[in-house]
Amino acid sequence: MAQDKKVAIVTGGSRGIGREIALELSKDGFAVVINYAQNVDEAESLKKQIEGAGGEALAVKADIGESKDVTRLFDEAIARFGRVDALVNNAGIITPDGMTVQKTTDDWAERTVKINLLGSFYAMREAAEKIKDGGRIVNLSSSLAKMRAPGYGIYSATKSAVETLTSTLAKEMRGRNVTVNVVGPGPVATDLFLKGKTEEQIKFFSAANPMQRLGTPQDIAKVVAFLLSDGGGWINGQTVYANGGMI
């Protein structure tokens, strides 16, 4: 690869929003490191799609809830491409609908904190050391972090914590021209969101914003791509809620 080609790591990049982010960044000229936890076939398919369009990609299996895996993810990216210029912390899980604070089990609470909060933290910590000066970090939160909607307490709490870490890290990267921001999607038509929802629930969420539709993975990918671009360089330490005006 050309030595001046930028390299982006996308966690949870094999499907859904992560997949669209990887495709969008490849179109923008990034070599893309596709992180996945289980979906090897989808990750390899995306890698081939990017390469078939003339881009460069690497698929790396790593559990972002394990700090050693996150270190290896960055090291494999650098071994293959020689650098890391951008990190998109997209990987995450959401608790099932209706899991109130009272009904949240130890297992769900621990898994959600491990993946959503600690996973993002481990990747941010690694990026703080290994990302090139002038780089970009974008963390995925959720509009639920601002809504405080019933039934999503532990999930929203982890996303609020990611937003706090983001603004803190943005200040700690002073002098390196590295921006650190958050994108907080509203309801997006992905398998993760749609699973288990009734038609009535989908209609409700679709009507919850003035655009009267669910977001698409492409909607979110374009916001992320802007923040990683030269045009997004003056936005730092901020949360951008991409939800069609729902909040």
As a whole number of angstroms, the distance between CA 33 and CA 8 comes to 6
Contact 39, 60 (CB under 8 A): no
String of DSSP letters for 17-55 = HHHHHHHHHHHTT-EEEEEESS-HHHHHHHHHHHHHTT-
As a whole number of angstroms, the distance between CA 11 and CA 18 comes to 7
Contact 89, 138 (CB under 8 A): yes
DSSP run (H or E) holding 59: strand 57-61
Active site residue 241: no
Q: Which amino acid is at 186?
A: G
As a whole number of angstroms, the distance between CA 242 and CA 239 comes to 9
DSSP run (H or E) holding 182: strand 179-185
Which of 36, 122, 152, 155 is the catalytic position? Answer: 155
DSSP run (H or E) holding 228: helix 217-228
As a whole number of angstroms, the distance between CA 76 and CA 71 comes to 9
Active site amino acids: 155
